[in-house]
Amino acid sequence: MDELAIIGVGMHPWGKWGRNFVEYGTVAAQKALDEARVDWNDVGYISGAITVRNGYPGYVAGATFARALGFNGAQVASSYAACASGVTALQVARGQILSGATDVALIIGADTTPKGFLKPNEGDRPDDTDWLRFKLVGATNPVYFGLNARRRMDLFGATQEDFARVKVKNSRHAVHNELARFTKEYDIEDVMNSPVVSDPLRLLDICATSDGGAALVVCSMEYAKAHGHAAPVRIAGLSTVTPVYPDTVIDLPYMATDSAGATPEPLRGFKQSIGDKVYEESGLGPDDVDVAEVYDLSSSLELDWYEQLGFCAEGEAEKLLRDGVTEIGGRLPVNPSGGLGAFGEAVPAQAIAQVCELTWQLRGEAGKRQVEGARVGISANQGLFGHGSSVLVRR
C-alpha cells in the first residue's frame, strides 16, 4: 500500500468549554492548514468525523466544517464509527488520495459532550443494542470498564494498584501537555483514595467526557515533496477491521458473545486483529514500535492493549508496566500525551488526536514529553459495534 504524508496537524485544547463543536474543529483545522502551508482553497477533499450529539450539523460533519471554513467546492464525506470515527474519516480520505481523485485532504473531528457519562439519544429503540444495554441491563460505559477490569484480575492477577499505576504514569506525562484537560500529577494513594465508580475501578481510573477537536492535513508523497515537505511523517498502515465470527469475548454494546459450539474460535481475537492488520499493511511489527497512543477509557484497558498490540505475551502487561517499560524513558512509552485519562472523550476527535501526538513525537516536537529517537508510532482505538481503529506512522 502506498504511503501518505502528514504535512499538518492541529488540535483545540480539551476541556469543558460549552461552545459549539464547530468552533473546536475549525480552530484545529486552521492550525493544521497553517502548519502544512496549504491554502484552504487548495484542499481537494474534506473528511469529517461525525458527532451524533449535535444534531444535523454533527451528522454531516464534513459539510459543516467545509461551510465554517468557507465553501470552496471541495469534495466531502462524513464518517461515523463511534470512537473510531477519526480513523474511518482518515481511511476515506486515503482512498481518495491513492485513487488520484485528489492530492491533499483535510480530516477533522470535534465534539461537545454532555455532563456525565455518554448514553444513547432520547427515544425508545428496542431494536438498538446500545439502547437496550442501558435500559435492560443498566450497563453504562463505566459498568463495562469495571467488568473488563475484573476479568483482567481474574485471568491474570492484575491488582487495583496496577490500574492506579497506569493513571500515575499517564498523569506524569500529561503534566507536560498544554493541550490536555487534566494536567495534575497523581500518586498511587491519590488514585486509590478516589471514590469507587464501578468496582474495582475508581474515579481516577476512568476517563471523563470532554470537548475538543483535532485535524490532519494529509497528501500524496509527490505533493509533499513538491510543496517543500522533504521528510514528512508517513502513514504506513491503517486498520478499520471488524471482528471475525465467532466473537467470544463480550464487548458492549452487545450483551452476549457468539457461540463457538459449532464454529471454532478464530486464532486471533478482534482487538488483536486491529493491530495485525496495520502491521501487515506497513510491513512492520511490534518490535519496530517506539511509541504508542492507545485507547485508555479506563486504566485497565490500557494494559489489555499492551498484549493486543503484541508488545508482550498475554498476562504480561502488568510486568511491562511495573518495570517502567511503558513510561517516558522506558523502552516503549505508551500514552506520552497523557492518554484519554488526561484528555477525556471527545469522540470524533480522539483517534485523530492520537495521530497528532504520534506525529509530534516522530518529528521530535513533543517538548518535555518527547520519546527519544522515536521513528515508528502506532495508535489503537475501538468504536462500538465492531469498529477497529489503528494507524501506524513512521519517519
Q: Is 245 helix (H, G, I), strand (E, B) or coil?
A: coil
Q: How confident is the model at residue 196 (pLDDT cuts 50, 70, 90)?
A: very high
Those residues with Cβ within 8 angstroms of residue 315's Cβ, 6 or more apart along the chain or in another chain = 155, 156, 157, 307
pLDDT tens profile 223-257:
999 999 999 999 999 999 999 999 988 888 888 88
pLDDT of residue 261: 87
Question: CA 252, CA 135: separation in Å to the nearest integer?
Answer: 13
Q: What is the DSSP string of 61-79?
A: HHHHHHHHH---S-EEEEE
pLDDT of residue 137: 84
The model's pTM: 0.97
* Mean pLDDT, the chain, whole residue set: 96
Long-range contacts of 52-60 (CB under 8 A, 24+ apart): 52/80, 52/121, 53/111, 53/112, 53/113, 53/114, 53/121, 54/20, 54/21, 54/111, 54/112, 57/21, 57/22, 58/21
Integer CA distances (angstroms), 193 to 202, 203, 292, in order:
8, 9, 29
pLDDT tens profile 37-53:
999 999 999 999 999 99
pLDDT of residue 238: 97
**359 neighbors 6 (Cβ within 8 angstroms):** yes
Q: How confident is the model at residue 197 (pLDDT cuts 50, 70, 90)?
A: very high
Question: CA 121, CA 79: separation in Å to the nearest integer?
Answer: 18
Report the 10 Å Cβ neighbour count for 122: 7
In this predicted structure, the answer to whether residue 1 has a pLDDT above a threshold of 80 is no
**32 neighbors 106 (Cβ within 8 angstroms):** yes
The rounded percent of the chain whose pLDDT value lies above 90 is 87
Which residue is it, cell 494494559?
303
pLDDT tens profile 341-360:
999 999 999 999 999 999 99
Backbone φ, ψ for residue 92 (5° rounding):
-60, -45
Q: Flag the least confident range among 243-257, 320-334, 364-378.
A: 243-257
CATH number of 4-116+209-226: 3.40.47.10
Beta bridge partners of 379: 293
pLDDT of residue 250: 81
Question: CA 129, CA 136: separation in Å to the nearest integer?
Answer: 10
Of 341, 269, 339, the closest CA to residue 310 belongs to 269
Question: CA 287, CA 275: separation in Å to the nearest integer?
Answer: 13
Q: Flag the least confident range among 43-47, 374-378, 383-387.
A: 383-387
Of 50, 80, 84, 78, the closest CA to residue 383 belongs to 84
* Better-predicted residue by pLDDT, 24 or 130: 24
pLDDT of residue 138: 87
pLDDT of residue 135: 87
